[in-house]
């Protein structure tokens, strides 16, 4: 599809940048298809997740960088920033088809399955390339496992998803480890996510990364968030 130049080109460039940051819009996931990597790779990942990491503070409470239905600690030097998903109405973009297209792409990137992007915690200040992202949804009857399955099913290129239950500090939820393959980059990488339900709706915490090595290096921050997770 051909689009105009000038402001529209800049908008679509911004959309492309956002697409590189918030990945996974629609697709199909495998079920419990077994471990996400070889035994040795799994051992390496487990070792990485056990590495001690200092807390850089707590987010989620009112007045914090990201007000959320849950609270948890973020790793030292990681920086949290709320994501403004907007109302999804596209403003006055209906007057311009190109603007409307850009808005639709942005809206798609901000929503994955039953949840919407609410916060991202950037690892770059701590020396890694990746984000710990928090997604929130509307209150409903689905349990944490169902929410997590729908979240994974809405991501492209998913395989070997392995689900499990977890409990931390009185909070129970579901967790998944899986692989994501990018057809564009012809690369496969590991990702992790967990979900809990609260009175204010479900919450998904997702850890990606530029590649599997980055993901594994950031696992201690993900484990810190899981270990300190609390609901209101």
CA distance 45 to 220: 10
Residue 138 lies in a domain: yes
Length of the chain, in residues: 232
What is the CATH number for 190? 3.40.1000.10
The residue with greater pLDDT, 223 or 94, is 223
Percent of the chain with pLDDT over 70: 72
At 205 the pLDDT is 98
Dump pLDDT digits (tens) for 23-73. Answer: 433 333 333 433 333 333 444 444 444 457 999 999 999 999 999 999 999
At 78 the pLDDT is 98
Residue 156 lies in a domain: yes
At 194 the pLDDT is 98
- Per-residue confidence band for 94, with pLDDT thresholds at 50, 70 and 90: low
Residue 165 lies in a domain: yes
Per-position DSSP letters for the chain, written without gaps between them? ----STHHHHHHHHHHHHHHHS---S-----S-S-SS-HHHHHHHHHHHTS---EEEEESSTTSSS--SEEEEEETT-EEEE-----SS-TTGGG-HHHHHHHHHHHHHHEETTEEEEEEEE-GGGT-S-EEEEEE----S--HHHHHHHHHHTSTTEEEEEEEEEEETTEEEEEEEEEEEETTTTEEEEEEEEEEEETTEEEEEEE--SSHHHHHHHHHHHHHHHHT-EE-
Residue 4 has pLDDT above 70, yes or no: no
Residue 98 has pLDDT above 80, yes or no: no
At 214 the pLDDT is 96
The residue with greater pLDDT, 101 or 147, is 147
Residue 11 lies in a domain: no
Dump pLDDT digits (tens) for 76-89. Answer: 999 999 998 764 44
The residue with greater pLDDT, 86 or 225, is 225
Residue 56 lies in a domain: yes
For range 9-32, the mean pLDDT: 40
Contacts 24+ apart (CB under 8 A), 175-178: 175/148, 175/226, 176/148, 176/152, 177/35, 177/36, 178/29, 178/36, 178/152
Total count of domains within the chain: 1
Dump pLDDT digits (tens) for 167-209. Answer: 988 899 999 999 999 888 789 999 999 999 999 999 999 999 9
Domain that holds residue 197: 24-85+114-231
- Per-residue confidence band for 123, with pLDDT thresholds at 50, 70 and 90: very high
Measure CA of the first residue to CA of the last residue in the chain; give whole Å: 47
Greatest mean pLDDT among 5-9, 28-32, 109-113:
109-113
At 51 the pLDDT is 59
Residue 37 lies in a domain: yes
Residue 55 lies in a domain: yes
């Amino acid at each position: 599809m051909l689009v105009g130049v000038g402001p529209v080109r800049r908008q679509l460039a911004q959309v492309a940048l956002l697409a590189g940051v918030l990945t996974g819009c629609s697709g199909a996931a495998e079920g419990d298809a077994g471990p996400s990597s070889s035994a040795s790779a799994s051992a390496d990942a487990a070792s990485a997740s056990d590495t001690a990491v200092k807390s850089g503070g707590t987010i989620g409470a009112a007045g914090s960088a990201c007000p959320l239905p849950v609270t948890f600690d973020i790793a030292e030097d990681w920086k949290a920033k709320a994501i403004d998903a907007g109302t999804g109405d596209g403003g006055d973009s209906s007057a311009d088809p190109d603007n409307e297209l850009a808005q639709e792409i942005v809206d798609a990137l901000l929503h994955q399955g039953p949840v919407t992007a609410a916060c991202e915690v950037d690892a770059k200040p701590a020396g890694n390339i990746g984000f710990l992202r928090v997604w929130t949804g509307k209150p409903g009857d689905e349990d944490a496992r169902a929410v997590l399955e729908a979240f994974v099913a809405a991501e492209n290129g998913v395989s070997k998803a392995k689900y499990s239950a977890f409990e931390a500090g009185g909070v129970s939820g579901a967790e998944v480890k899986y692989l994501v393959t990018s057809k564009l980059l012809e690369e496969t990488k590991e990702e992790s996510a967990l979900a809990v339900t609260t009175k204010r709706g479900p919450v998904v915490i997702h850890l990606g990364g530029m590649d599997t090595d980055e993901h594994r290096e950031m696992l201690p921050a993900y484990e810190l968030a899981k270990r300190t997770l609390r609901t209101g």
